[in-house]
Amino acid sequence: MIPRHNKAFLSYQEGDKEFVEALGSHLRRNGVDVFFDKWDIQGGDSVPQEIEEALAECNLFLYVLSPAATKSKWVQQEYHAFLYRKINDHTLRIVPILRKTCERPPFVAPLRYIDFRELDPTDSSNFSVEDEGPFKELLEAIFRVPKKPPLGPIHPAFASYEFYFQPLKGNPKDADGTLNYEIGFKNITDSPLHNFIFTLIFREPVLSVKYDFSRSSANMTGGDGLTHDGKRFNWLGNQIMEDGGWAVFIIKSKTIPVISRISTKLVGRVVGTNQIIPPDPNGI
């Protein structure tokens, strides 16, 4: 996702100006538009008006925290003005920048701060985006850079059932040309699969899906079955017995049935392979 354009308001106390100017310069070099009074308020400008307009336009409030800043009336007014906007617009963000150890204001205290206490603003290498450090952390926060490692696949060892789908052995086609297919869910755990619910989505309509009592070792109670359009089949079972218990169903169709999705709350795998059928708790 392309980061949105960010405009940041740097709120600070005069004693931290050297640090703030260096920080603002390097933020701008890295694509963050920054309001900094030294640059944006010129001779003859109304200081309160320029600050008010900047606070109304920015989506980021960079609160440079120090004992002097938390006691500054100007900083408090800036913070309260932005906080009032944020109450009505949750896309706005306050990012605390801890420059010097201090007690944080109540509404800032729960927010995760970025620790700049040890950073030397006169050393430009401290603002490198190549190395880990507070400046890189700040840019990652501004641009919402994901830090999670990529999500890997589910290991087949965690599957609770195996699924198979094939032409019906011994009777793949009726005399009138109707095709017969079978599907099965095999319990591969050492405990019963209680309340086994599943949904099948077919690419094209099928004629019927019926539970095969004679070949199953499960207590199946039914469900709302096949929908009128023949494309969705829902079923609820009390349990599939442990250690290789099966739940088998027969599908009748005028064309070769194609299952486009299987939804269960459990992890499964295709029989004879390591192909995983991921759980779909919201798809039932």
CATH number at residue 111: 3.40.50.10140
Q: Are strands 93-98 and 114-115 parallel, antiparallel or unpaired?
A: parallel
pLDDT one-digit tens code per residue, 231-253 = 999 998 778 999 899 999 999 99
Taking CA 23 as the corner, what is the angle to CA 18 and CA 24, rounded to the nearest 5 degrees? 100
Residues 187 and 228 in one domain: yes
pTM above 0.85, yes or no: no
192 burial level (CB within 10 Å; 0-12, 13-18, 19+): middle
Q: In sequence order, which residues have a C-beta less than 8 Å from that of residue 199 and are 6 or more positions away? A: 232, 233, 234, 235, 261, 262, 263, 264, 283, 284
Taking CA 253 as the corner, what is the angle to CA 250 and CA 259, rounded to the nearest 5 degrees? 75
Considering the domain boundaries, does residue 25 fall inside one?
yes
Considering the domain boundaries, does residue 283 fall inside one?
no
Residues 80 and 190 in one domain: no
117/108 Cα distance (integer angstroms): 17
CB 43 within 8 A of CB 37: no
> Domain end: 142, 175, 200, which one?
142
Indicate if the pLDDT at residue 2 is higher than 60. no
Considering the domain boundaries, does residue 251 fall inside one?
yes
Q: Which domain holds residue 269?
A: 156-277
Nearest Cα to 142, choosing from 260, 55, 28, 233?
28
> Domain end: 142, 173, 189, which one?
142
State the pLDDT at residue 24: 95
Largest CA distance in the chain: 95
Residues 15 and 129 in one domain: yes
Domains held by the chain: number = 2
| CATH code, domain carrying 183 | 2.60.40
Considering the domain boundaries, does residue 202 fall inside one?
yes
Indicate if the pLDDT at residue 281 is higher than 80. no
Residues 93 and 207 in one domain: no
Q: How sure is the predictor about 170, in pLDDT bands with cuts at 50, 70 and 90?
A: very high
DSSP assignment of 157-187 = GG-SEEEEEEEPTT-SB-TTS-EEEEEEEEE
> Domain end: 118, 142, 166, which one?
142
**Strand partners for 201:** 232, 261
Tokens of 243: 């250690």
Residues 25 and 49 in one domain: yes
Taking CA 197 as the corner, what is the angle to CA 158 and CA 205, rounded to the nearest 5 degrees? 110
Residues 11 and 138 in one domain: yes
Nearest Cα to 200, choosing from 187, 181, 179, 217?
181
Q: How sure is the predictor about 4, in pLDDT bands with cuts at 50, 70 and 90?
A: low
Considering the domain boundaries, does residue 242 fall inside one?
yes
SS3 32: coil
